[in-house]
Chains A and B, each alone.
Chain A
């Protein structure tokens, strides 16, 4: 495990090589990227395997000396990291392969692979970080990767705005994280996770401070994971190439927020308020995003809102002390959502549009993509036997057991919505007949199908490592040796599973009725509740609200400051200048050329001095 630090370096190498030699390699760049990511994947798998038998490994050295303070950098391999390493490198590897087909023919092909390398490096680095500072560093670099890839089609105005928005919105969260970690540092004297947890455990940090810092760190997570109210960037981020959406905005980076909360879980666990905040925000986001997802017409946006919603689920899990549930869902979600995105990419690749209104009847034309998409949809909808079913069940149980029944029912409702809109999507894309004329619809090349197939398998299989039926292997392993993380598996009432199944099936049924059988009008919502529809369609007008408040607010402040600048700062200078010049003008006017005036002034000067002297008697 002492070589774990090499894992992120492979993608970094890929980044550098492609940056320098990319122009010459052209599409061969893909091989460099794929091979190097494969190396990372191989090592990650090896680390994971090793971690089963060996204890946590941590290695650090001094990075920055500030007087007496020594800040360190290093890496740590524990259960959570090891798992994340595999997830990240696997998805990244698959996306690398996929992109070879998807990005074929793009003139900036090498750049794309370079950026992928950069992102993968940052994400792997983030996962390996043993302390908050390092986490923060990679946290931001991940954001950079995301920014670059969202803005990959830089010549599109929308891509530009999306990239900018993504960077800024996440940065707002990052500042929360920054403040939180600095406050923690001054409380505990360290950025190291284990030392912080130890201090918290000893009670060296006050209750309020724990709550405050935990919430601040959570703000960071909110930004990255697209939780309400910082979620608006994530749907816009779909401007990036689809493989990017799969890698960054579904499987890895957006999950980083969840990962962060998981990594600092002992801190959250020490404050009921903090947990409460996490769970409330999570649950709210889950239902909130799901409701928007119902009416979106862009295939990727639907998936994006579903991502937001699912991330809310994970937060809810963590907030309900369901550490294992959160991480478990993170993993399954990574697989099935990546699958969905890749499949969606494949669809877009085939039909060159993202508008689902224009699609339809693709089941027959895309013989590989369609079933794989269906697997993903089933998994996310929580249909039994698919991975999403198990992880979602785990979350519902955690929420129920933790005690907040309102949140539980919210989560159940969100599950219904999820099933509904996912199948709405599926049916609209694949079922029925094509709604517009589409030519040259063809199945994607093997390089794109293969990664989807792998993910399809995982979307089904990955659920079975932690089930109430066959054993909670993952859960037990994750919390091993760390009591602060709670129990590996939470026992809940069995009816929850039944309810969850029923809810998801009814969601599917409803979608079927509307979009396949057409027994319920598609325009039901539009005609019956146009207001609600418009609100949903416009994403609750949140973007507009931000536009009106923050953007205009900042502009207003700027204009106000410009006012100060012009009138106060410059005005002051102007006043002084004018004063001096007026003085000069007056002086030169007195200099009238009349010699008698000169003499008079000299005399007046003398007289004044003498009068002063005479009056003061020389006692000036």
Chain B
């Protein structure tokens, strides 16, 4: 590979990644040379600017044709663009939260690291969505993971933060090993790590033994990746880590990292296993695995919603709620209908706003009160009607009440699950039943905010970054709830059903 060759690649396709990488590097360097006493907020704003710039550059790339560089290891297809937008949007909002995050102890000196680690994690996620090769996919995944490990434990003096990071690392390591083990078999059978080549080779596979092994590999990869989604059976780390990690990190994990998990899941599974012929039917192997995914989706929804009922800590509660939401999205995934992509994308979009909005308020409240107990939301309606109103919107959206984006997202998932033949009645029923169960804890928060008297009537000082986040999220949640066609039209006109997913 000579220089000419190197220069012949359309590096422009990677502008957003370069921007993020550059920002991260500059942040790291600046942090190093900045006087210790200096307020690190500026770094946060710089990072935010980098993300915004990346979003702008990505929007400019939207019209670009599908192409790949670096021997098809980096692809810029509509799938990548669509999900990168989500990742970047989520990261931008998280960044706003992170700037406002000033915990009582153990943070101040690491705030610089805090910002650039977000950038590297984001970079990993972005690489994953664009990668066309198992190796880049894996590297992206690990970049995200390792950055997140550090982020989770960034409050070095805080034992809860330490513990959550440790748990995260150990579980993450195991999941990585399992995923890789599965991947190694897929590689072994095809002899290539390139997803497209794999798909091509696998579609001609005729050895039933290989199909069988691929089935096992599928399960390993799926379970391994379910770590990132925080879905069953690899969901149990999530509550502990979410609780212990700094709130912006929790927000990041529950939104950006989860989105990235779905990205990699679709990338690997759809491109590789959709091509494998099944042993017993005309359909690809993937379709015979639907029931497994469905089973796990059902388990995830039940576990998430049912255990959430017993939570007193708001962050733990949202951890379980985010497990449940992963389950909902898996329903769409397991249905594999023609609206699968739109529904997952839209749901993640809705989830991004509603969850981040909620976390913004949680961050504000937990910092203010110094505790995460739900009862400290009591009387919020009196103390800050704006926050209470916004929180109500987010909660209603999470609960899937009409008029909010969450409802439309759920609707789309139902539609997908029911339009295929045979329809997934059981899965849909579980989803709906658990949604009703979720009313208990979601409305429990509303009860606290609106019905219960406040312990004290101190007004809550609003921080600009948080307020902006809250307002953006609330507005988006409502707008996409009432006029979802805005999102759908954008999706359809720019991404065109991801028909270029495998080309």
Contacts and interface: CB of A to CB of B under 8 A. Distances in A.
A–B proximity contact (CB within 8 A) = yes
Contacts of B42: none
A580 B309 contact: yes
A581 interface: yes
A206 B345 CA distance: 71
A399 to B, nearest CB: 71
B299 to A, nearest CB: 8
B110 interface: no
Contact of A602 (B175, B302, B306, B311): B175
B219 A595 contact: no
Contacts of A593: 240
A613 B239 contact: no
Which of B166, B291, B302, B310 has the largest count of A CB atoms less than 10 A from its CB?
B310
A485 to B, nearest CB: 68
B278 A618 contact: yes
A583 B302 CA distance: 9
Contact of B306 (A583, A597, A617, A619): A583
Contact of A580 (B236, B291, B437): B437
Contact of B236 (A581, A584, A598, A614): A598
A610 B236 contact: no
B132 to A, nearest CB: 27
Contacts of B216: 610, 613-614
A598 B167 contact: yes
A606 B437 CA distance: 27
B338 interface: no
A440 to B, nearest CB: 67
A612 B280 CA distance: 16
A618 B212 contact: yes
Contacts of B280: 618-619
Given A618-B278, A619-B280, A595 B237 contact: yes
A72 to B, nearest CB: 48
A197 to B, nearest CB: 59
A587 B303 contact: yes
A609 B237 CA distance: 20
Contacts of B226: 602
B223 A602 contact: yes
**Majority-rule SS of A interface residues:** helix
A530 interface: no
> Size range of the interface on A?
20 to 34
A361 B336 CA distance: 103
Contacts of B215: 613, 618
A580 B306 contact: yes
Interface in A586-615: 587-588, 590-591, 593, 595-599, 601-606, 609-610, 612-614
A405 interface: no
Given A584-B307, A609-B223, A595 B166 contact: yes
A495 B40 CA distance: 127
Contacts, number: 95
Contacts of A620: 288, 291-292
Which of A580, A595, A603 has the largest count of B CB atoms less than 10 A from its CB?
A595
Contact of B219 (A580, A602, A609): A609
Contacts of A587: 303, 306-307, 310
B240 to A, nearest CB: 7
Contacts of A367: none
Contacts of B223: 602, 605-606, 609
A598 B232 contact: no
A156 interface: no
Nearest to B226: A602
A522 interface: no
A605 B219 CA distance: 10
Contacts of A618: 211-212, 215, 278-280, 285, 288
Contacts of A610: 216, 219-220
B373 to A, nearest CB: 16
Nearest to B211: A618
Given A599-B171, A602-B174, A617 B291 contact: no
Contacts of A584: 306-310
A612 B292 CA distance: 10
B32 interface: no
A613 B219 contact: yes
Contacts of A595: 166-167, 170-171, 237, 240
Interface in A429-454: none
Contact of B309 (A581, A591, A609, A613): A581
Interface in B220-253: 220, 223, 226-227, 232-234, 236-237, 239-240
A371 to B, nearest CB: 77
A459 to B, nearest CB: 73
Nearest to B173: A599
A94 B354 CA distance: 79
Given A606-B223, A614-B216, A598 B237 contact: yes
B233 A601 contact: yes
A12 to B, nearest CB: 51
B178 interface: yes
B233 A606 contact: yes
B288 A606 contact: no
Contacts of B236: 590-591, 597-598, 601-602
Nearest to B288: A618
Nearest to B237: A598
Given A602-B175, A605-B232, A617 B212 contact: yes
B233 A588 contact: no
A562 to B, nearest CB: 28
Contacts of A604: 233
A459 B149 CA distance: 109
A598 B227 CA distance: 11
A598 B171 contact: yes
Contacts of A54: none
Contacts of A581: 309-310
Contacts of B278: 618
Contacts of B279: 617-619
Nearest to A609: B219
A619 B278 CA distance: 9
Contacts of B292: 609, 612-613, 620
B332 to A, nearest CB: 20
Contact of A599 (B174, B285, B308): B174
A104 interface: no
A165 to B, nearest CB: 46
Given A588-B310, A605-B223, A599 B232 contact: no
Nearest to B178: A606
A605 B233 contact: yes
Contacts of B437: 580
A608 to B, nearest CB: 8
B161 to A, nearest CB: 15
Interface string B126-147: 0000000000000000000000
Which of B178, B211, B219, B237 has the largest count of A CB atoms less than 10 A from its CB?
B219
A619 B287 CA distance: 11
A452 B285 CA distance: 103
A527 B237 CA distance: 95
Contacts of B288: 618-620
29 contacts: A580-B309, A581-B309, A583-B306, A584-B307, A584-B309, A587-B310, A588-B307, A590-B236, A591-B236, A591-B240, A593-B240, A595-B170, A598-B167, A598-B236, A598-B237, A599-B170, A599-B174, A601-B236, A602-B175, A602-B234, A605-B223, A605-B296, A609-B219, A610-B216, A613-B216, A613-B219, A618-B211, A618-B215, A618-B280
Interface of B: 166-167, 170-171, 174-175, 178, 211-212, 215-216, 219-220, 223, 226-227, 232-234, 236-237, 239-240, 278-280, 285, 288, 291-292, 296, 302-303, 306-311, 437
Given A606-B223, A620-B291, 5 more contacts: A587-B306, A590-B236, A599-B170, A605-B223, A618-B211
Interface of A: 580-581, 583-585, 587-588, 590-591, 593, 595-599, 601-606, 609-610, 612-614, 617-620
Chain A to chain B: the 4 pairs with minimum beta-carbon distance, closest first: A605-B233, A598-B236, A587-B307, A606-B223
